Structure 1
Amino acid sequence: MSFGQGGPFEGPGGSTPNWEALAEESEARARRKRWLMIGGGAVAALAIAGIVAAAVISSGGSPDGGPTAKPAASGSAVVPDDKPSFPDVSVPPPPNPRDYISDPKKDTAPLTPATLFPQQTMVVGEHSYPRTATDAVTDCTAAAQGPLVSSLTHNGCRKLLRATYAKGGVAVTIGVAVFDSPAQAAAVMNEGKPNLKPLAGGGVPAEFCQGSKCLMTTNATGRYAYFTIAGFTSGKDVTASAPAAQQISRDGGGYAFTQISQRGKDQAAKAAEEQLKEARRKAGQTS
């Protein structure tokens, strides 16, 4: 039998195995097996290391169980958020100024000529008029004349304040009557009896609008009715061709409305400030 030339099992002459060749081949196989085992172990170690690293990243920890620092942006440092926190302050909506000139329970600020007419000069637009006299009466009929007397009495007038302003031979007296409700003030306005008594003094003579034709108006806002009487300080009649008297009459009415409205705004602003203080106090107690 013959197996061909050069195989490991053929010795010289083809009768006996070549043991040296067999030994070398066996050793080569053993070396290859060792390298395969080492390479497989390295691959397994790398795989295990990858699994551990993935677990560490997902849990935010480090392989040895210690804390890990998150990377910071280039040129920046990780700064702890140590800003103090404050509780939210819930502030109610601001009060309506008109409520304070409509409700006597809210309209509690001092009411005198000094608080209602504090400026020495009435300024309306480009026009200005020095103040010459003021007064206030609780008997409203003392500052009225004609049909206005009964209207004020019937509707329960509480107080009537007056101020006179004059310039260039014309003057206007403003009267502001105070009632318990807007309905009473509106009733006086709707009755159309603006017979306010003029207030002389401070350079305005007693002849001012006494026995002469003067311009008279009436209006109301909130619980206040307000009136004007305007004319010449000389006592002559006001006619259609008297623009100065007409102007001071309009300015007086506008000024009266502004002063009453400002009273409401001032009281509403003060109430809003008190509400904010109270809200902050409560927030401080609950923080």
Structure 2
Amino acid sequence: MSFGQGGPGWGPGDQQTPDWAALADASAARNRRRKWLFIGGGALATAAVVAVVATVIVSAGSQDDGKSASELPSPPALPSDSAHPQPSFSKVAPPPPPNPYDYIASAQKDKAPLGADTLFPGTSLTLGSGVYAKGPTDQVTSCAAATQGALGTALTNNGCRQVIRATFTKSGVAVTVGVAVFDTDTAAKKAKEQASGGIASLSGAGVATFCRDGAVCRRTTNSYGRYAYFTTGGFADGKNVTKGDTPVFTAGDDLAQFVFDQIVARGRNQASAAAAQPAA
């Protein structure tokens, strides 16, 4: 028994069963053809999308009224850095700042006002050991007149210009501070090294005479710049000073330190003023 052309074939046997292997091969062949059709169709669709995108790009790039690339306007120029001022640096090194010591080492540069009121301002001093009341002050050009013993000779021989004195008191202790002024720091140093005796105590303005008529007192001598400075300290009631009288030693040291600080500040202030002046 058979069907017309193109029908399925049947294998041998009494039961006339179909040839399953042949059927499976035919089905596989159909599937392969369908798969290739799907793949081919996808490729065609992708190619179509690419073609559309390319067309859009080409169309967008041609919206220039038919002008060629050489005829299109140039983009605006970017701003140049040269329009802004550039920092410049001098090749000349700035001068060093003035040295404060130079302004107290020589009369040629030490021009600030000088007197009892500038060295000893106010009516009292608050120092490390307490508050000292300021008593009498004076300023003399006869340097030897403000000294005791051989100190006058040392000051005069080294060219002393003037002596400025002030007396301070605290708790029964009185100290006179004297500052001798020279033209140079060399002269002041020599006067200090040659000093003998001491600065004469200065009384008045409520301060009784002290450290006179042979009373034992404590004296100090030092110099800085063109200034030599001295202290004479003792008891306001004329009592002799002993090594155990700490308040007298403390008062002399405090006031000597104060004078030193005043001289240093004098140099610093003049150097700062010079540095603030515009260059010539």
Name the TM-score, length of structure 2 as normaliser: 0.68
Task: For 2:263, give the aligned amino acid.
Answer: I
Return the match for 1:209 from 199, 211, 218: 211
Once the 2 structures are TM-superposed, how far is the Cα of residue 63 of structure 1 from its aligned partner?
A: 5.2
**2:116 corresponding residue in structure 1:** 113
CA offsets 1:180-216 (integer angstroms, 9 cap, x no match): 111111111112324110011222102x111210000
**1:195 corresponding residue in structure 2:** 198
Verify: 1:67 aligned to 2:69, yes or no: no
Q: CA–CA distance in 2 between the matches of 1:83 and 1:264?
A: 44
Verify: 1:253 aligned to 2:256, yes or no: yes
Task: For 1:189, give the aligned amino acid.
Answer: K
CA offsets 1:28-86 (integer angstroms, 9 cap, x no match): xxxxxxxxxxx9xx9xxx9xx9xxxxxxxxxxxx952241569xxxxxxxxx9998778
Please say if residues 104 and 180 of structure 1, whose CA atoms lie closer than 8 Å, have aligned partners that are also in contact.
yes
CA offsets 1:209-264 (integer angstroms, 9 cap, x no match): 11210000100001110000000000010011211111111111111111111111
* CA separation of 1:92 and 1:234: change in aligned 2, threshold 3 A: same
Return the match for 1:184 from 160, 177, 187: 187
> How many residues were matched structurally?
212
C-alpha RMSD of matched pairs (Å):
3.1
Please say if residues 193 and 218 of structure 1, whose CA atoms lie closer than 8 Å, have aligned partners that are also in contact.
no
Q: CA–CA distance in 2 between the matches of 1:87 and 1:68?
A: 27
Name the TM-score, length of structure 1 as normaliser: 0.66
Please say if residues 116 and 263 of structure 1, whose CA atoms lie closer than 8 Å, have aligned partners that are also in contact.
no
**2:246 corresponding residue in structure 1:** 243
Please say if residues 194 and 228 of structure 1, whose CA atoms lie closer than 8 Å, have aligned partners that are also in contact.
no
Computing the radius of gyration over CA atoms, which structure comes out larger, 1 or 2?
2
* CA separation of 1:270 and 1:68: change in aligned 2, threshold 3 A: closer
* CA separation of 1:126 and 1:170: change in aligned 2, threshold 3 A: closer
User: What 5-or-longer segments of structure 2 have no aligned partner?
Assistant: 1-50, 62-70
* CA separation of 1:210 and 1:91: change in aligned 2, threshold 3 A: same
Please say if residues 129 and 250 of structure 2, whose CA atoms lie closer than 8 Å, have aligned partners that are also in contact.
no
* CA separation of 1:85 and 1:133: change in aligned 2, threshold 3 A: farther
**1:273 corresponding residue in structure 2:** 276
User: What 5-or-longer segments of structure 1 have no aligned partner?
Assistant: 1-38, 50-61, 71-79, 283-287
Please say if residues 178 and 224 of structure 1, whose CA atoms lie closer than 8 Å, have aligned partners that are also in contact.
yes
**Counterpart of 1:97 in 2: which secondary structure?**
coil
**Counterpart of 2:105 in 1: which secondary structure?**
coil
* CA separation of 1:86 and 1:204: change in aligned 2, threshold 3 A: farther
Q: CA–CA distance in 2 between the matches of 1:210 and 1:186?
A: 27
Q: CA–CA distance in 2 between the matches of 1:119 and 1:91?
A: 39
Task: For 1:64, give the aligned amino acid.
Answer: P
Once the 2 structures are TM-superposed, how far is the Cα of residue 268 of structure 1 from its aligned partner?
A: 1.0
**1:172 corresponding residue in structure 2:** 175
Identity of aligned residues (%): 42
Q: CA–CA distance in 1 between the matches of 2:251 and 2:112?
A: 29
Once the 2 structures are TM-superposed, how far is the Cα of residue 88 of structure 1 from its aligned partner?
A: 6.3
* CA separation of 1:183 and 1:64: change in aligned 2, threshold 3 A: same
* CA separation of 1:69 and 1:84: change in aligned 2, threshold 3 A: closer
- Taking the TM superposition and a 5 Å limit, the aligned residue runs for 1:120-199 are 120-199=123-202
Return the match for 2:266 from 263, 284, 287: 263
Verify: 1:234 aligned to 2:198, yes or no: no
Q: CA–CA distance in 2 between the matches of 1:64 and 1:129?
A: 89
